[in-house]
Amino acid sequence: MNITFDIQTWWRAGSAYGDGAVADATVHCDSAGLPFLPGRTIKGLCRHALRLAADAGLPAAGTPITVADVDRWFGPELADSTGGDVDARVAAFRYETYSGALRFDSARLPTAWLKWAAANPGALWALRVPMASTAVGDDGVAADHTLRTVEVAAPMSLTGEVEWSSAEPEDARWREAFRVALPIFIRGLGSTRNRGFGRVAVRVSDANGGAA
């Protein structure tokens, strides 16, 4: 099944790497220099959307989506009850969690963009630009040492694939759950989505491009 993210504003999925004097943090890019959305980020977005769907009692194939469904599809989230004990937390992750049944690939631009990037390396700057921000105090003056520059990516449509990867028989309800829940509950993405960045509309389709 394919998930397409029609990103409508500047956005960023941070790479945790900087770019010298240009930006304190850059966006994830592939070897061609094209921005992409990592699979782990997509998994987190989808998990959150399905948990909201479960809380709302949203139905999939006539049956309400449950937290147990979400845990089965994504793997359970571990509540931190270890009091900061690192060894206890490692043991809890090892013995109290299990892999989810779904595998998420990264979402990327259509393959035609690879040819464009190879033919126009000097134009890649238009897809990723630095944007500066700073904290402003109650007096309306910028606070000292708060200027930060991050790289953001231009609006674009990215598509990634998710598939059932468990050896257990496939639970066909997950496809309907994604089709129903993702367009409703995923409205923003990226690390700055609460600041007006990363507005997105989500489309779900089968591997052949039809409606899932």
Please tell me the predicted confidence (pLDDT) of residue 83. 58
For the domain covering 2-77+99-205, report its CATH number.
3.30.70
| φ and ψ at residue 207, rounded to 5 degrees | -65, -20
pTM, two decimals, is: 0.80
pLDDT tens for residues 127-185? 988 876 665 666 666 566 555 577 889 999 999 999 999 888 999 899 999 999 999 99
Neighbouring residues of 45: CB distance < 8 A, sequence distance ≥ 6 = 186, 189
Spatial strand order of the sheet with 200-205 comes to 102-104, 157-164, 2-7, 200-205
Q: Tell me how far apart the alpha carbons of residues 180 and 42 are, in angstroms, rounded to a whole number.
A: 16
* 132 within 8 A of 147, measured Cβ to Cβ: yes
pLDDT tens for residues 135-146? 566 666 656 655
Closest by CA to 127, choosing from 58, 2, 18, 30, is: 30
Q: Tell me how far apart the alpha carbons of residues 31 and 103 are, in angstroms, rounded to a whole number.
A: 22
Please tell me the predicted confidence (pLDDT) of residue 173. 94
- In whole numbers, what is the pLDDT of the chain averaged over residues? 82
Mean pLDDT, to the nearest integer, of 73-80? Answer: 77
Residue 8 half-sphere exposure toward CB, CA atoms < 13 A: 8
Q: Tell me how far apart the alpha carbons of residues 22 and 210 are, in angstroms, rounded to a whole number.
A: 42
Q: 93 — alpha (psi -120 to 50), left (phi > 0) or beta?
A: alpha
Please tell me the predicted confidence (pLDDT) of residue 23. 46
> Where do the domains of the chain lie?
2-77+99-205
Higher pLDDT, residue 126 or 99: 126
Q: What is the dihedral of CA 66, 173, 175, 188, to 10 degrees?
A: -10
